[in-house]
A and B are shown apart, each in its own frame.
Chain A
Amino acid sequence: MKKTSLLFAGVALALNIASAQAATLRMAYDADPVSLDPYEQLSGGTLQLSHMTYDPLVRWDRNLGFEPRLAEKWERIDDNTMRFHLRKGVKFHSGNTLSTKDIEFTFKRLQDSPDFKGVFAPFKALNVIDDYTFDLVTAKPFPLVLNNMTYLFPMDSAFFSGEDANGKPKDLLVKHGDSFASRTISGTGPFTVSYREQGVKVEFARNPNYWDTNSPGNVDKIVFTPIKEAPTRVAALLAGDVDFIAPVPPTDHKRIKSSDNVELVTMSGTRIITFQMNQERNEAFKDVRVRQAVNYAINQEGIVKKIMKGFATPAAQFSPKGYLGYNPALTPRYDLKKAKALMAEAGYSDGFSVTMMAPNNRYVNDEKIAQAVVSMLAKINIKVDLKTMPKAQYWPAFDERAADMMMIGWHSDTEDTNNFFEFLSACANKETGAGQYNSGNYCNPKVDAMMAEANAVTDPAKRAGIMQAMEKAVYDDAGFVPLHWQNLSWGARKGVDIAPIVNGMNFPYLGDLVIKE
């Protein structure tokens, strides 16, 4: 009897060792990548895929610092030039060797991509020095060179040259048509795509020639299934049908935490949810006291606690903690008495009516948040006519500035404070594209001047000072209503050690994932 159990233990141990060496990960997200082309669409899904199959020049670590990847080191040569040194001996999936030729090729593609060209607009030129050295030149001093290099996933230039079977160039970048690059991958990343049926399944296999031999990752196969419905996704994890899921809806956190077989990892995110107050549509919002009153009337902490079930961080500014512009002095200012006093002071003690619009399938609990704001504003006699709609209909309405108050969430593509200001609060300017999503028509030329200044300062400490002052100015002006930063969440089977590889940008570095039994 003893012998048999010992034998079993031995067999089990042997199996364990085998599975620790090479493991398969079955994962489920809410959607699968739109395209295999890393530059077709700038979206979370695309970036998640890019980090699995390609490597960027540098990547974000968990504290929003930079980690060298394909660029081994870099140095600033002068105010406008940064020199990069490529890692040597890196192979693409095709077997080709990475060189500056590929960087040049990828850089050109980035500048042609409708989604990415905005991010790369500050760069004037890319000068190749030799096979492993190149300079990036900007028109004027530019502080975000490294931030933008996290988007440069070198593509295999030799592989993507020439024409495909349909006679179209292999590097063709199209939004709404079949292209070679949208179906094929040759990157330097930890995984290759071995099978893909869009909307159903993607299978990845470990790249046997992966350059990063220090990576602890032991996953040699990934089966990726999109599961759109959150309850089904959670059920699949709880039933043991998948090992790793994201996102986990706030309502299921308790259930996952209480289960012995699965673990929940959450992290504060960087997407801010806000309401904008349109000063052109509604006369009352021109008065700074009214805008402040609205800010004083809204209880961010209440929303986070009751609606988000604690799964968000109450906000009083654009920048989440960790960003240069994050100003620790700015905190939510819920104070109903003060709100009423400000309304009276502005001559609106009897209140007024506003229209409000919000999406109902874009952000976590978007519709419920809007409803909560409606009832909070009712307390200072602002009567709100709320309309919610699916995102597909919401965005055209947003472009038309169709309501006095509109909800918008924003994630900074550069992980930098200035991006929030450029899109959400800058004086609207059709020509430069500034304030493209500023439906409130809030405009403070002083803040805009600081924004321009911060865009040309390369010293981080000095930039931080300027941007924190910007946050303060918009806070005092009550330029918009910050609500909260959405948290991120992942669920995994015990033994799938996801905590070290997930991050606030929400692109898990799956190449480094370790599965223990």
Chain B
Amino acid sequence: MIAFFVKRFFQAVVVMFVISLISFSIQDNLGDPLRELVGQSVSEEERQALRDEMGLNDPFLVQYLRFAKKAVQGDLGDSYFFKKPAFDVIMKKLPATLELVFGATIIIILFSVPIGVYSAINPQSWFSKTVMGLSIVGISIPVFLTAIGLIYLFAIELNWLPSYGRGETSNLLGWETGFLTADGLKHLILPSFTLASIMLPLFIRLIRSEMMEVLQSEYVKFAWAKGISPRRIYFVHALKNTMLPVITVGGVQIGTMVAYTILTETVFQWPGMGFLFLEAVNRVDTPLIVAYLIVVGAIFVVTNTLVDLIYGLVNPAVKLAGKK
């Protein structure tokens, strides 16, 4: 187990290194950060002087080494816009994003498992057919449109739910959470559904097809022959084996969902790190962009590690690499 973690840790370090190198090398193509820092009528000399002061005129390697030296000590540089360490800025926005992803995940699990199982058991029912048809539509509608549609319906027309932001949050052991207040929960509903709308159809289809396959397998047929109750066959024997590939895909998709939050957060003005990233790109806030990419890279590594661990728990036949 320890060997597994050590191996993963070194993999993570390599991933971080590669991400930092790539994000550092694209920053010159993003535009000129100075333009966002000064007014329009500031002269070119004045801007050059500021650029010199900030070390932006140094060669690439000099800049990268300066960054790397600090990064090793945990300092990813200061955001130009927030004027604070980029890492702190991102960490402050992380709870909002994780809560959004969490909300979406709950919605996905609550809806995809029962619907997927039902339509696998009753593939010919009108409900299954409707769900399958809708899921195609769901996959193809862009997040942006879903979000605007939901806002229009639930915020403007019906006036049931708030249109933007996170609402009231409360502090739980240093974590600003929206899950503990009614207002915070209300604000979570629309963005969570929007974010879930990308993955939900995918999971319904995945669970359905996996389940249908499992239901055709020999051991399920044997169970039927033994006269075990249908409920036990469906929900204990079949479902457990269905979930294995779903967990694998799910782990990867949760990482992807963190990336998808960029769009959802922008539409809902959700104060998370996806929105932060998009703004940083617009402002050419390069230290913040680099730090974001590194943090998201780390999230991917961590979720994948967790998935591997859970996989091992669900299916003891799987051996973790390095585990003897």
A415 to chain B minimum Cβ distance, whole angstroms, is: 13
- B81 interface residue per 8 A CB criterion: yes
Question: Could you tell me the distance between the alpha carbons of A115 and B80 in the complex, rounded to whole angstroms?
Answer: 16
Residues of A within 8 A of B164 (CB): 28, 225, 227, 232, 235-236, 241
A451 to chain B minimum Cβ distance, whole angstroms, is: 16
- A341 interface residue per 8 A CB criterion: no
- A241 to B155, Cβ gap below 8 A? yes
Say whether, besides A177-B83, A392-B284, A423-B41, A114 and B32 are in contact (CB < 8 Å). Answer: no
Within 8 A of B (CB), among A392-420: 392-396, 399, 410-411, 413
Residues of B within 8 A of A361 (CB): 282
The answer, among A176, A178, A199, A236, for a CB contact under 8 Å with B37, is A176
Residues of A within 8 A of B33 (CB): 392
- A393 to B30, Cβ gap below 8 A? yes
Say whether, besides A42-B41, A115-B38, A436-B43, A199 and B271 are in contact (CB < 8 Å). Answer: yes
A340 to chain B minimum Cβ distance, whole angstroms, is: 36
Within 8 A of B (CB), among A144-168: none
Question: Could you tell me the distance between the alpha carbons of A239 and B154 in the complex, rounded to whole angstroms?
Answer: 9
Say whether, besides A199-B279, A239-B155, A232 and B35 are in contact (CB < 8 Å). Answer: no
**How large, as a class, is the contact surface on chain B?**
35 or more
- A41 interface residue per 8 A CB criterion: yes
- B268 interface residue per 8 A CB criterion: yes
Say whether, besides A114-B50, A235-B151, A239-B156, A392 and B43 are in contact (CB < 8 Å). Answer: no
Say whether, besides A118-B42, A175-B38, A225 and B165 are in contact (CB < 8 Å). Answer: yes
The answer, among B40, B269, B282, for a CB contact under 8 Å with A226, is B269
- B218 interface residue per 8 A CB criterion: no
Instruction: Determine the residue in chain B with the shortest Cβ distance to A410.
Output: B40
Question: Could you tell me the distance between the alpha carbons of A115 and B282 in the complex, rounded to whole angstroms?
Answer: 21
- A238 interface residue per 8 A CB criterion: yes
Residue among B37, B50, B164, B279 facing the most chain A CB atoms (10 A cut-off): B164
Say whether, besides A115-B38, A175-B38, A239-B156, A229 and B269 are in contact (CB < 8 Å). Answer: yes
- A390 to B43, Cβ gap below 8 A? no
- A392 to B279, Cβ gap below 8 A? no
- B38 to A114, Cβ gap below 8 A? yes
- B78 to A177, Cβ gap below 8 A? yes
- A436 to B44, Cβ gap below 8 A? yes
Within 8 A of A (CB), among B1-54: 29-33, 35-44, 46, 50, 54
Question: Could you tell me the distance between the alpha carbons of A42 and B36 in the complex, rounded to whole angstroms?
Answer: 11
- A232 to B38, Cβ gap below 8 A? no
- B266 interface residue per 8 A CB criterion: yes
A147 to chain B minimum Cβ distance, whole angstroms, is: 14
Question: Could you tell me the distance between the alpha carbons of A48 and B163 in the complex, rounded to whole angstroms?
Answer: 25
Question: Could you tell me the distance between the alpha carbons of A198 and B30 in the complex, rounded to whole angstroms?
Answer: 23
- A41 to B39, Cβ gap below 8 A? yes
Residues of A within 8 A of B155 (CB): 235-236, 238-239, 241
Residues of B within 8 A of A235 (CB): 148, 151-152, 155-156, 163-164
Residues of A within 8 A of B83 (CB): 35, 174, 176-179, 182
Residue among A42, A235, A239, A410 facing the most chain B CB atoms (10 A cut-off): A239
Residue among B33, B151, B268, B276 facing the most chain A CB atoms (10 A cut-off): B151
Say whether, besides A114-B38, A228-B279, A393-B31, A241 and B162 are in contact (CB < 8 Å). Answer: yes
Residues of A within 8 A of B162 (CB): 239, 241
- A390 to B156, Cβ gap below 8 A? no
- B35 to A392, Cβ gap below 8 A? yes
- A231 interface residue per 8 A CB criterion: yes
Residue among A114, A393, A423, A433 facing the most chain B CB atoms (10 A cut-off): A114
Q: Mark A217-238, 1 if CB is under 8 A from B, else 0.
A: 0000000011111011001101
- B84 interface residue per 8 A CB criterion: yes
Within 8 A of A (CB), among B129-170: 148, 151-152, 155-156, 159, 162-165
- B205 interface residue per 8 A CB criterion: no
Question: Could you tell me the distance between the alpha carbons of A411 and B33 in the complex, rounded to whole angstroms?
Answer: 21
Instruction: Determine the residue in chain B with the shortest Cβ distance to A413.
Output: B41
Within 8 A of B (CB), among A195-249: 197-200, 225-229, 231-232, 235-236, 238-241
The answer, among B30, B39, B148, B282, for a CB contact under 8 Å with A43, is B39
Say whether, besides A236-B164, A239-B163, A393-B30, A176 and B78 are in contact (CB < 8 Å). Answer: yes
Residues of B within 8 A of A395 (CB): 31-32, 35
- B81 to A34, Cβ gap below 8 A? yes
Q: Mark B210-229, 1 if CB is under 8 A from A, else 0.
A: 00000000000000000000
- A236 to B50, Cβ gap below 8 A? no
Instruction: Determine the residue in chain B with the shortest Cβ distance to A389.
Output: B31
Question: Could you tell me the distance between the alpha carbons of A77 and B169 in the complex, rounded to whole angstroms?
Answer: 58
- B283 interface residue per 8 A CB criterion: yes
- B267 to A229, Cβ gap below 8 A? yes
- A321 interface residue per 8 A CB criterion: no
Say whether, besides A114-B38, A228-B266, A390 and B31 are in contact (CB < 8 Å). Answer: yes
Residues of A within 8 A of B282 (CB): 361, 390, 392
- B41 to A199, Cβ gap below 8 A? no
The answer, among A118, A228, A390, for a CB contact under 8 Å with B269, is A228
- A391 interface residue per 8 A CB criterion: yes
Instruction: Determine the residue in chain A with the shortest Cβ distance to B36.
Output: A392
Instruction: Determine the residue in chain B with the shortest Cβ distance to A198.
Output: B82
Question: Could you tell me the distance between the alpha carbons of A45 and B162 in the complex, rounded to whole angstroms?
Answer: 26
Question: Could you tell me the distance between the alpha carbons of A65 and B200 in the complex, rounded to whole angstroms?
Answer: 59
**6 cross-chain CB contacts under 8 A:** A42-B40, A119-B41, A225-B165, A227-B269, A232-B151, A232-B163
- Not counting A225-B165, A399-B44, A436-B44, a sample of 10 additional A-B residue pairs whose C-beta atoms are within 8 angstroms of each other reads A42-B42, A115-B41, A175-B38, A176-B80, A228-B269, A238-B155, A239-B155, A239-B156, A392-B284, A411-B40
- State the 6 A-B residue pairs at the shortest beta-carbon distance, nearest first: A392-B31, A42-B39, A239-B155, A115-B39, A200-B271, A393-B31
